[in-house]
Structures are given as structure tokens and as C-alpha cells.
Amino acid sequence: MTTTAQDPEIRQLEEAARRIRVGIIRSVNQAKAGHLGGPLSAADVLAALYFRVMRIRPDEPDWPDRDRFVLSKGHSSIGLYAALALRGYFPVEELLTFDSLGSRLQGHPDMTRLPGIDMSTGSLGMGISAGIGIALGCRLGGRDARTFVMLGDGECQEGEVWEAAFLAPRYGLDNLVVIVDHNKLQQYGWQGSGPDDRLPPAWPGELVAKWSAFGWRVLEVDGHDMAAVVRVLEAATVGDGRPVAIIANTIKGRGVSFMEGRYQWHTRVLTEDEFATAMADLGEAGTNPTGGAA
Amino acid sequence: MTLPMGRALRDVFGLTVTELAGHDPRIVMLDADTGSSTKADIFAKAYPDRFFQMGIAEQNMLGVAAGLATTGFVPFVSTFVAFAVVRPLDQIRVLIAQTGLNVKICGGYAGLFTGVTGKTHLIVDDLSIMRAMPGMITVAPGDDVEAEQVLRWAASYNGPVYVRLVRDATQRLFDGKYEFAPGRAVVVRDGGDVSLVSTGTQTPRVVDAADLLAARGIEAHVLHVPTLKPLDVPAIVAAADRTGVVVTVEEGTVIGGLGGAVSETLSEQRPTLVKRIGLQDVYGESASNSELLELYGLSAARVADQVQTFLEARTSAGHASHAE
């Protein structure tokens, strides 16, 4: 399967990622609360998973043989919700209920409320453990399903991540793929050379070295190069007896000019002007704030 | 006049879950390197393909259990209470209680009998913590007969359950005709002078204490409360109505556990004087089982003495006794 940038399907996936980003901005703007930087950095990988790689049935979200996705970095929920809505799990208009009373779209994913959520998350470090359990259960149950888990790079500071990293190779879980959204920033982190400069959660090369040392098959990718993302995800699902860790090098706030690489946009409420600029950056100029999402 | 000894609850655990697994292929066992102590090793030998050694990594273990449950398996998670409940508490909260996933958390080495391990392993507040957690059924079986039935019920129930299991052999409370029902408390002795409310393997010692009190002319009513949540509110109100004075006895802190539950219930339903016997806001220490029971006032003799002193102080303070 060719997966070059000229591929019409890659173009479609890029468009899906763009629409996910539009959904993120619209929903967070509507809620006047929510995370932005992390969901935006994850959008391309989410598009590749939900629109190409994962074997899923949006009209049968509990299909036992489906591939699973666990958003361990649960604070990027709105990115996942946008992907699920665009993929047909629930109406796209429902994205605008994000964070509001009674909504199925909770601040952090809730599997008891929303179809398509394979595990509730939000307290960091837990999703990878649940992913191991799902992968073990699929194997024990004779199911060919793959389990994808997305971690944040800051999340890798949680001890539980390394408990899980220690265990998965011991069980040879090559039906488990962890994607680290390595966007180089966390909520606050450590100060760098100036007040607005923050040090990355992990040094260059550190995540590759650590996951390799724990016995994982490690792949690295530009997390915003859609053709490369698809290639790496499809390579990851060819098992060799080891679990796979994909280090996706991304940019926090990707796609919105004034958010890219700025830790201040981890969570923040947009002004009207900022919203207009963000929409223009995403190719949606001239839309009003409460217009239907994407 | 003391109750006979029964099997250790850890032996009951290993044997019962292994037997259940023979009928139910969904049952799997997760261990955090304590299987030779908790008797999860019985399961490991019988069903090695369904036994998952998680290593010394309990937070991950509870998360793995949640994941397994979503694929239709019924994970029994086994290690000491210290590591099954307290260390991975947030994982239990987010991944198991909030989701309602079908995970059975089996805490071994509960209460004072922790094999002389001292304060780190002697968890005083597991019942307080677990009953406060929305969505968590909390059960402390009173003896081996009840523990076996609790485990059978837990395997058949779809949702999270915490089962408190004791390391060493304890006294037998029930005969073969007993039937455990979740959320139901049982009167194990009738009496008109004072109502003793107990839970877990403390109850047999409370029954022995009631016999000691009877020899002193005090007839105690004894209510055994195996299920801390959901709580049998009518049974607790009835126990208060029976004598008008209540003493709770538990092998753990008096804050928030059985004593807390009974006090909360009676304050709302039937204001009654309640004395709480148990660990008085302290941690445990290393000593033999019998020494610890004496130290914290939980031996039959010490319970009887405390109840008698309490009743005498109450009478001398001018309270009318219920019998009058």
C-alpha cells in the first residue's frame, strides 16, 4: 500500500485531521473551558487511527472484535470526541455540549456515558495499564483485535507508565501499540532560558532510549506527516512478539498559529479575535462561533 | 464456651476461586508477587493460563484488571490489603469504581493478623475507605463458611466488589446451613441488655464476649454485618430498638468503618447512644495476633470488659436501662 503525501486517501485523512482540529476549537470555545494544545498535537494520529488504521464499527461500538483505543492522556478528550463524532459514533452537533451539565462529553472520557470510549481515563498513567489488560483479554479470548493507547510525553513522568512498560514485554503483547504524543511541552513544567521558555518533559532521544530499554519495539515518526503516520501505524500492527511504542514527534497546539509551541495554550479560553484567527488558520474563515462544528 | 476454629480465609480464597474457575472460564487471577502468601498460588497451579503475575506493581495491576474486565473476563485481583486497596486507590476509583467494571478486589492479610509485619502492612482503614467510595460493594466475611459464599456470590455478580480476607485461621461463626446474602446483616445472638454490632472475623470474638457478659448477668444482642456497603439499615435500626444501646466492634479504625456507618445510620434513623470499640485513630505495630488483640481491646475478654464498663458508667450517669 502506497502512502505518499500525493495519495488521495492521505489528502482525505489530512482533511479529517483538519476537521478534528476545527471541532476542538469550536467545542472548547463554546464551553469556555477545556484543553487545546494536547488535542491539537494529537489530531493527525487520531485521524489516521479512526479513519484508516483501526478496524471498528461506529454503528456497533461494542463489537467484540473491534480494535480498541485508550486515550491515556485523557485531558485531550475533545480531540477524541471530535474524531468519534466525525467517524459517525454520535452527531457532530453534540460536540458543542462538551463539558456542559448532563453531556456525554465529559471533561475526561467516560466509558459509561459515551459510545466508542473503550476506557475511562483522566488520571494520568492509567490508560496504558488498562490497555495491557485489554490486549491480554483479547489474546486470551482468541480475538485478533489490536489495542492502541495514546500517552502524553509529560504523562511518562508517572510511575505507573513504567510499571506497565516493564510488564508488557514479559507477556509478549505485540497486539498492543502505545503512541507517545511527544509535543515537547506539559502544563507548566520546568523553566528554561526565559520566563516563557519551558523545558521539554523528556530530552531529545530520551523516550526512544527508555522505551527501547524496557524491551519495546520503538518506532519514531513525525506526528504531523500523515503519510508517515499511516506507514508507522501499519508497520506497528505487524507483530514480532514485542509491544510497540511509537514516539510521535508533534507540536503542541499544532494548526493554530499563535498556539503552536506555547505552553500557555495547554488550557485557555479564546477571545473572539483569537477564535477568528484560529478558524482562519484552520481554513474556516468567516464562520461564527456557534456555527455547527465542521 | 468459645467458638471453634475454622479454616483460614486465605485458604478458602485460594480453593474457592480455583473451584469457581473450573466452572467459569471467564475467571482470571491477578497477583502482585504475593501468591504464595495469599494462596492465589493454588489457582496458579490449577489454571496457569489464566493466572497473570503482575510483579510488584500494584497500580498497574488494578489497571490491567479493569482492561481485562472490558473484554469479558472476571479478574480476581489478589494481594495484601495494603497493596490491593491503599496503594492503587486512584486506579480503583477511576478505572473500577467509576466504570462499574467487573473486578473483584481480594485484600488478603486484612485486620491485625498480618504475620508480624507491623504498621506498613497492617491497614486500619480499608473498610472506611472502600465503603466511602461510590460504586464499591464492601464485604468483610465473618468466617470461612461465609467467606466461601461471599466469593461465590462475588463471582456471579457483575460489578466491582471488595472482599476483606484474613491471613490466619479464625473462629467459625456459622454452620453449613448459613446463607450469605449481599447487603444483609444477621442476628447471631439474641439478648435484651446491649446490642453489639460487629463485622468480619471480629464477630466470633464478639459472640465469645457475649458469653462472658452473660456469665456476669448481661445479655447481649449480637448483629453481624458482613456487608459494609450496601448497609443493612433496617437491621441496624432493629438492633438499636432491641436494647436501646449500641456498641460497635471492629478490627480496624473506629473512624468511618463499621462504627462510623452505624453512627451515621442511627443518627438519621434512630438517635441512639453508640460506643465504638476498635483502633482509636492509631496505626498498628508488630506483635503476635493475641498480643495485638489485647492491645487494641479486641479479644473476647477485653471486649466484654469494655462493654460492661460502658454499661456501668451509663447506669451510674443516670440513664435508665432498657430493661426497666
Same domain, B192 and B69: no
Same domain, B248 and B300: yes
Cβ A137–B68 below 8 Å, yes or no? yes
**Each residue of B129-172: pLDDT tens digit?**
999 999 999 999 999 999 999 999 999 999 999 999 999 999 99
Q: Report the distance separating Cα A145 and Cα A54, nearest Å.
A: 9
For B36, the domain range is 5-171
Same domain, B16 and B148: yes
Listed residues B137, B171, B205: the one ending a domain: B171
With cut-offs at 50, 70 and 90, classify the pLDDT of residue B318. Answer: confident
More confident residue, A190 or A288: A190
Same domain, B150 and B13: yes
CA distance B23 to chain A (A): 16
**Each residue of A128-182: pLDDT tens digit?**
999 999 999 999 999 999 999 999 999 999 999 999 999 999 999 999 999 999 9
| Of A221, A128, A236, A220, nearest in space to A174 by CA | A236
In this predicted structure, the answer to whether residue A270 has a pLDDT above a threshold of 70 is yes
B322 within some domain? no
pLDDT of residue B211: 98
CB B210 within 8 A of CB B220: yes
**Each residue of B99-123: pLDDT tens digit?**
999 999 999 999 999 999 999 999 9
ipTM of model:
0.96
Q: What are phi and psi of B138, to 5 degrees?
A: -125, 120
CA distance B204 to chain A (A): 39
Kindly report the CATH number assigned to the domain that includes residue B284: 3.40.50.920
Same domain, B105 and B150: yes
Cβ B60–A164 below 8 Å, yes or no? yes
Per CB-CB distance under 8 Å, the chain A contacts of B67 are: 70, 119, 129-137
Up-side HSE of residue A2: CA atoms within 13 Å toward CB?
A: 6
Q: What pTM value is reported for the model? A: 0.96
Same domain, B166 and B48: yes
Same domain, B42 and B66: yes
Signed CA dihedral, B313, B315, B317, B320: sign only: positive
Cβ B66–A133 below 8 Å, yes or no? yes
Mean pLDDT of B82-97: 98
Mean pLDDT of B311-323: 76
pLDDT of residue A195: 82
Same domain, B46 and B129: yes
pLDDT of residue A292: 47
The residue to which cell 444477621 is assigned: B186
In this predicted structure, the answer to whether residue B6 has a pLDDT above a threshold of 70 is yes
In this predicted structure, the answer to whether residue B320 has a pLDDT above a threshold of 60 is no
Q: Report the distance separating Cα A7 and Cα B28, nearest Å.
A: 46
pLDDT of residue B324: 42
Same domain, B224 and B151: no
C-alpha cell at A33: 473551558
**Each residue of A215-257: pLDDT tens digit?**
999 999 999 999 999 999 999 999 899 999 999 999 999 999 9
Per CB-CB distance under 8 Å, the chain B contacts of A68 are: 70
Kindly report the CATH number assigned to the domain that includes residue B24: 3.40.50.970
CA distance B66 to chain A (A): 6
pLDDT of residue A289: 53
pLDDT of residue B323: 45
In this predicted structure, the answer to whether residue B18 has a pLDDT above a threshold of 90 is yes
Domain ranges of chain A: 8-281
pLDDT of residue A148: 98
pLDDT of residue A5: 64
- Please state the domain count of chain B: 2
With cut-offs at 50, 70 and 90, classify the pLDDT of residue A293. Answer: very low
C-alpha cell at B167: 491471613
What's the mean pLDDT when you consider all of chain A? 95
Residue B198: strand pairing partners: B224, B249
Same domain, B23 and B113: yes
With cut-offs at 50, 70 and 90, classify the pLDDT of residue B295. Answer: very high
Same domain, B244 and B310: yes
Residue A234: exposure state from Cβ atoms within 10 A (0-12, 13-18, ≥19): middle
pLDDT of residue A285: 75
B324 within some domain? no
B275 within some domain? yes
pLDDT of residue A3: 62
B179 within some domain? no
The residue to which cell 510483579 is assigned: B55
Same domain, B164 and B228: no
Q: Report the distance separating Cα A110 and Cα A92, nearest Å.
A: 18
B36 within some domain? yes
CATH code linked to domain A8-281: 3.40.50.970
Mean pLDDT of B57-71: 98
pLDDT of residue A294: 43
Per CB-CB distance under 8 Å, the chain B contacts of A61 are: none
B323 within some domain? no
Picking from A122, A129, A140, the nearest residue to B73 by CB comes out as A140
